[in-house]
Amino acid sequence: MPRPSRLLGATPVAIAMGIILILGTGSAAHAVHGPGRSPGASPTTSSAQSAPRSYGPADALHVTVAGDASSGYRAEIHDGARLITTRGMTGKYDLTAVPGTSLNQPTGDDLLGHPTGDLDWGGPGSSGGAVTKATAPDGESAVHWTLPGAENNTWIEVPIADAKVGATYRGTVTLQGTGTVYLNIYDGARDVGGTPVTLTSQPQTLTLDVPIPEHSRTPQFQIRTSAAGDVDLLAWKTSVRAVTRQPVTDANRVANRYTSVSYDPAAATLTLSGATDPIGSTTVTRSETYRFVAPNVIDAQVSTAASGGPAVYWYTPYTDFKVGKPLWTGGETTSYESPNPSNALLDSPVPALGVSDGTYTYGVAGAATWDEPLPGYSAPHLVIDGSRLAAPQIGTEADPIVLGDGQTRSFHSVFYRSAAGPYGLALGAQLATAETLGLSAPDRSMPAWGKASSTATLRRAAADEFAAIAKTTAYWARMTTASGVKALAPNQKYAHFGATTYMRDSFWTTLGLDGTPYAKDTEKELLVQFTRAIPRSGGEAGHVPVTGGGPFFGDESGLYYLIRMYHDATTWGLPVKDTATANLVLAYIRAHQVSGGAFVTAGPVDNAGFQITPDSWLDGYLFPAGAVNAYNQGLYVVALSAAKSLGADVSDAEIDAATGVYRRLYDDHLGYVRWLSTKDFKSPDVLVGDALSLYLFGKPLLTDTMVRRTFAAQERTPYGMKVLAKQDGSAVPPSEFLTLTNDPKTGKVIGLGEPAGWYQNGASWLLWEYLAEYSAARHGVTAARGAMRDSIAAEVAVTPLSKEFKVTQQNADIAGADPAWPYPLGSSGLDRQGFGWNAAVAAFSR
C-alpha cells in the first residue's frame, strides 16, 4: 500500500478553525467538521462554487480547483501563488471514447480459406506430437493438437494467404483443453502475440488485431505455448478477416467537466468527480484524485469507467505546463516520445518528464506497467507535445485502453518539484515516487531544492538516498508486455523490443525490493514462470532457461533458480518449496555442467549465427570449454547449500568438494582469487559467492586472507573498480570478447568486440563491486565500509541513476562499439541506465 500522507489538512483557504466549508448542490452552504469527523465521511463541494479554492500546502505544490458545476470543475497545480500546470482541457477535449471492444470491426472473407480441421497445419509443435482433424463440441470442424512435454514457445501454424500490406486483420480462434497458450500472428516480419490463457474444459475465444507491414515472408496464423508442459487442446472457429475502423466524430470526443469536489483531510486527498458522458449505448464516467504525500509531492490519479456496455478510449496529453522549458533526462525538447518509435537510444531511463525554469524542475512521473498496463507498451509511455506532457500517455488511437462493462481503469502520475535540469528531473522522479510508494526511509522526505542546490549537494542527496533510488528503479522494472505477461525487465531500454525477464537480473532486482509491498508478489510470479519453463523430460530435463521463453545456455541460471527458491521459501516465507523440481534442476547441473566438484564452462554455442560463450553474467568473453570461473563456482557452492536446505539430495561431501574448488582458485603468488582457472585475470565478481553465502547463511566460503588480499588486488579507478583486468591492471585484448546486442534502430542482433574500459572489458559494474566490498567488510576489512560509500557516490556522480556499467577510460574505439558514445567518464549511455539489478545494493546495505 502507498505510504500514508503526511499532510492531514488543506490550506487555510479550504479549512478554517477545524471546519471544512461545504457547498451543497443547489442549496445553502453547510459545514462538516474536519479532523474530528468520522473517517467514513467525505465532504463535497458542488454547483455553487465559483471562486478557486486551494488544497494542500500553500507554500509548496498544491491544487487549486477552478470553475463551477455548470461549466465544470478543473484542477490546477500551483507552487505558492505560481501556476505550474493545468490538468485537463489542454485542448478542445480530454479523451476520445468509442463503444465496443475495439476500433476495428471484421469484414470480408476468411483468408484461411477452409474450416479449421481442413487447414494444412504445420510448425515445430507438429513434430513429436500430433495434429489431427476433429470435431468441436458444437459440431464445427476442429483440430486436435497433442504434444507431451511441450517446450515453451513452440507452436502449430497455417499460412495466411493474400494478406495485403497496410491492411489490418483480426485473427480469431476458440480453444479448450490443456496447456498455456496464446494466439500469435507472424506478420511476415515479426511475431505479434496476444494474451496467454491457461486452457480448461470451458471454451475460450482469442482474438488479435495485426497490421501487415512490408514483408518478405508469408504471414502465419499460430497457436503458441507460453509455458512448458503437456499440450492437449482442441481448436476451432479459426479465421483471419480484414477489419475496418469505426468512425470517430466529435460525439466521441469529451472533456472532463467535473460536477463534484470533495476533500478528505484524514487521507489528505482531493477528489473531482461526476464527469459523465453517453457514448452510444455506453456511459463513460471519469474522476481524478490528488493525494498530498509530502511537501512538493502529489500523487495524482485519473480513473475512467464504463457502464451499459464496453468502450475503448484514449487521452490527449493531460497537462499544460505554464512555466519553464520541457525536458526529459536527455535534455530540453519540445517534441519527444518514449519508448521512442525509431531509436531505442532515446528511450527514457526513468518514466518521467518535466519543465525546468533554471530554479526548479517541475516533473511528472508514471507508474510501473505491471500495476497499470498500457496497451502496446511494456515501459510507461511518455509524450512531450510542446508544453503538454504526459507520464504516462493514457492510451493512443493505435493502442486504446479497453474497458469492459462495469470496469474501471486508473492511471497514476506523481507530480513533484525538484532541482533544475536533467539531474534534478531524474533524482526528483525517483525520490518522489519512492515517497509516494513508501519505498523511502520513514524519516526521509523530499528535499526543498532550489537554485542554491549545488552539484555537490545534489550528488550527496543522490548518494544518501541510493537505497530509495534502487528500490524505485526495481519497481519501474516491473512491466506487463503487450501480450499481457508480467515481466521484470533489466531496464527501460531492454524492454524496447519487448520486456523479458532474465533469471540472473531478476534475482538481484527482486532482492532489492525486500521489505517493500512489491517484493513477494513480484518474486512469486517470476519463480512460477521459470518453474513452468523448465523441461520435465528428455535430454534438457531440468535445464533452467536464461529467460522464461529461452534460450537455454550452459550458464548459471540453474544455480540462481535453486538459490532463489531457498531464499523465497525460508526468508520470505513464500509457498514455493519444490524439492522434486530442485532435484531435477540439480540433476541437470550435475550431468551437464559439473566435473569433479567444479562448475565448468561450456565453450562456444551458436546464437543468432554468432559463436558465443554465455557461461556467466560476463557473457561477452569468449570462454574456453572446461575452465572454472570463480564467480560461477562460488554460486555453485551457495546453490548446493540452498538445495540441501530445501531437502534435495545433496551431501556435505559434495558441498565440501565444490568449496575446495572455489578456494583453490586463490593463487597465493598472484595474491588474489583467479577470475578464470586458465587466466591470471582478476575481477571483483570472484567474491560474489562468498558475499551471498554470508548474506543467506551467515557463513563465509573463503578465508579472511583470501578475501582481504583479493579485495586489495582489485584495479581501482576514479569511477569504480574495473570489472575485469589482467594481473598488471591493464585491459584484456578486445579480440577475446564477442558481445551481442540489439541494433537500437532495427532491433537486429549484432556482434561487437569490447574496447578497453568499456562494458565488460574493464568498465565498472556497481553490483559486483559492492558485493566484493560487502564480502570484505564481513571479513573485517576496515576500509571496505568506506569503499561501499565511495562506490555509491561514483555511481551518481554524473547522473542520479543506477547504471549497467560505467566507462573507466577515454578510448576512441568505444565509438565503434557503442552508438551512444561519447558520454562522460564514470557514466554510460542513457540506454544503459535505470538498471534494475543494482537494487540489490539496498539489501546488502542493511
Q: How far apart are CA 235 and CA 174, in angstroms?
A: 6
Beta-carbon contacts of 375 under 8 Å, excluding residues fewer than 6 positions away, are: 395, 399, 400, 401, 402, 482
Torsion of CA 186, 190, 194, 198, to 10 degrees: 80
3-state secondary structure of 581: helix
Amino acid 49: pLDDT: 52
Angle of CA points 593, 596, 598, to nearest 5° = 50
Beta-carbon contacts of 250 under 8 Å, excluding residues fewer than 6 positions away, are: none
Q: How far apart are CA 619 and CA 655, in angstroms?
A: 26
Amino acid 282: pLDDT: 97
Q: Are 536 and 498 in contact (CB under 8 A)?
A: no
Q: How far apart are CA 823 and CA 349, in angstroms?
A: 15
User: How many other C-beta atoms can be found within 10 angstroms of the C-beta atom of residue 217?
Assistant: 10
Beta-carbon contacts of 705 under 8 Å, excluding residues fewer than 6 positions away, are: none
Q: Secondary structure of the chain: what % helix, strand, coil (to 5)?
A: 25, 30, 45
Q: Are 468 and 430 in contact (CB under 8 A)?
A: yes
Q: Which grid coordinates belong to 774? A: 560487502
Q: How far apart are CA 433 and CA 294, in angstroms?
A: 11
- Nearest of 338, 385, 391 to residue 366 by alpha carbon: 391
Peptide bond into 447 cis (omega under 30): no
In this prediction, the residues of the chain whose per-residue pLDDT falls under 70 are: 1-51, 451-452
Q: End-to-end CA distance of the chain, in Å?
A: 22
Amino acid 51: pLDDT: 59
Amino acid 453: pLDDT: 81
Reduced 3-state DSSP string for 764-815: ECHHHHHHHHHHHHHCCCCHHHHHHHHHHHHHCCCCCCCECCECCCCCHHHH
| 332 strand-pairing partners | 327
Q: How far apart are CA 682 and CA 676, in angstroms?
A: 8
Amino acid 328: pLDDT: 98
C-alpha distances in Å from residue 460, one per residue of 252, 295, 463, 469, 840: 50, 20, 5, 13, 20
What are the strands, taking DSSP E only, across 195-316? 197-198, 204-211, 220-225, 229-245, 253-254, 260-264, 269-279, 282-294, 297-307, 311-315
- Nearest of 203, 339, 187, 204 to residue 195 by alpha carbon: 204
- Nearest of 489, 594, 612 to residue 551 by alpha carbon: 612
Q: How far apart are CA 122 and CA 634, in angstroms?
A: 45
C-alpha distances in Å from residue 15, one per residue of 11, 44, 536: 6, 13, 65
Amino acid 50: pLDDT: 56
Angle of CA points 795, 797, 799, to nearest 5° = 85
Q: What is the DSSP string of 29-88?
A: EEEEESTTS-TT---EE-TT--S-EEES-TTSEEEEEEEETTTEEEEEEEETTEEEEEES
| 169 strand-pairing partners | 210, 242
Q: Are 130 and 146 in contact (CB under 8 A)?
A: yes
Q: Are 31 and 19 in contact (CB under 8 A)?
A: yes
Amino acid 376: pLDDT: 87
Q: How far apart are CA 725 and CA 757, in angstroms?
A: 10
Angle of CA points 507, 512, 517, to nearest 5° = 105
What are the strands, taking DSSP E only, across 88-228? 95-99, 104-107, 130-135, 141-150, 155-159, 168-178, 180-186, 191-193, 197-198, 204-211, 220-225
pTM of structure: 0.88
Q: How far apart are CA 714 and CA 505, in angstroms?
A: 24
Work out the angle between the directed axes of helices 455-464 and 421-437 (0-180°, nearest 10): 30
Amino acid 743: pLDDT: 77
Beta-carbon contacts of 770 under 8 Å, excluding residues fewer than 6 positions away, are: 788, 791, 792, 838, 841, 844
Per-residue pLDDT of 182-212, as tens digits, reads: 999 999 988 888 888 889 999 999 999 899 9
Any idea what DSSP says for residue 286? E
Beta-carbon contacts of 452 under 8 Å, excluding residues fewer than 6 positions away, are: none
Torsion of CA 345, 351, 356, 358, to 10 degrees: -80
Work out the angle between the directed axes of helices 503-512 and 557-570 (0-180°, nearest 10): 30
Q: Are 565 and 578 in contact (CB under 8 A)?
A: yes
Q: Are 238 and 221 in contact (CB under 8 A)?
A: yes
Q: What is the DSSP string of 596-611?
A: TTEEB----EEETTEE
Chain length of the chain = 846
